Structure 1
Amino acid sequence: MQQYVLVSYDISDQKRWRKVFKLMKGYGEHVQYSVFICQLTELQKAKLQASLEDIIHHKNDQVMFVHIGPVKDGQLSKKISTIGKEFVPMDLKRLIF
């Protein structure tokens, strides 16, 4: 079953930051600087984490995973509120490999 996962990262080196950003583009929707919303199965999440483990510097960088809940029609828009520009989730199924 796919889960919505918010992935946020703080990478201290610009070169590593770009590598993380490029990797994350294949897994979810870029919603803010260094923040993605992904629809992931447990296997996809494990693959993403393994790839990130190889990129980041463990003493200086941080990647945070926030589990939002199961993927269901319309559910994400009920769990995320914004001030200012509205968040409109896109269909992430076409992004995840």
Structure 2
Amino acid sequence: MKNEHLYLVTYDISDPKRWRAVFKVMKGYGEWLQLSVFQCRMNSRRHADLTATLDQIIHHREDHVLLMDLGPADAVDPRVTSLGKTFKAVQRESIIV
């Protein structure tokens, strides 16, 4: 897909029930890296959908979600130092529905 950006999404959710809801949503948008960290390849529409969905789940006074735009997905070559498990950047894949 064209116009996709690579995002790093991280969150701090104070309630376990809301944390599970956010985690479930995030699994549909990207690759799980660590406990509350995902990397996602998204176009602007999917980014808007994700933002709106998360906005309805979280409690704004208690929770915090960061969506960091790392730039155009095809041009980004993440420079990552990974200790322990291997890091793998998200690649574009075909999805058959």
Is TM (by shorter chain) over 0.5?
A: yes
Question: Gapped runs of 5+ residues in structure 2?
Answer: none
Contact 2:30 2:41 in 1 (8 A): yes
In structure 2, distance between residues paired with 1:65 and 1:85: 23
Q: How many percent identity over aligned positions? A: 43
**Structure 2 length-normalised TM:** 0.85
Q: For residues 42-63 of structure 1, give each alpha carbon's deviation from its aligned partner in whole angstroms, at most 9, with x where no partner exists.
A: 1110100000011000000000
What secondary structure does 2:93 align onto?
Answer: helix
CA RMSD of aligned residues (A): 1.8
Q: Tell me how far 1:15 sits from its aligned partner.
A: 0.2
Misfit runs of 4+, over 6 Å: none
Describe how 1:17-32 pairs up with structure 2 within 5 A. Answer: 17-32=19-34
Q: Is the 8 A contact 1:7 1:63 kept in 2?
A: yes
**Given residue 91 of structure 2, which amino acid in structure 1 is its aligned partner?**
D
Larger relative helix fraction: 1
In 2, Cα distance between equivalents of 1:47 and 1:32: 22
Could you tell me which residue of structure 2 aligns to residue 36 of structure 1?
38
Structure 1 Cα separation of the partners of residues 10 and 57 of structure 2: 15
Give the total of aligned pairs: 93
SS, match of residue 6 in structure 2? strand
Q: Following superposition of structure 1 onto structure 2, how do residues 8-23 of structure 1 map, counting pairs within 5 Å?
A: 8-23=10-25
Q: Which runs of 5+ in 1 are unaligned?
A: none
Please state whether the residue corresponding to 2:69 is helix, strand or coil.
strand
Task: Give the TM-score normalised by structure 1.
Answer: 0.85
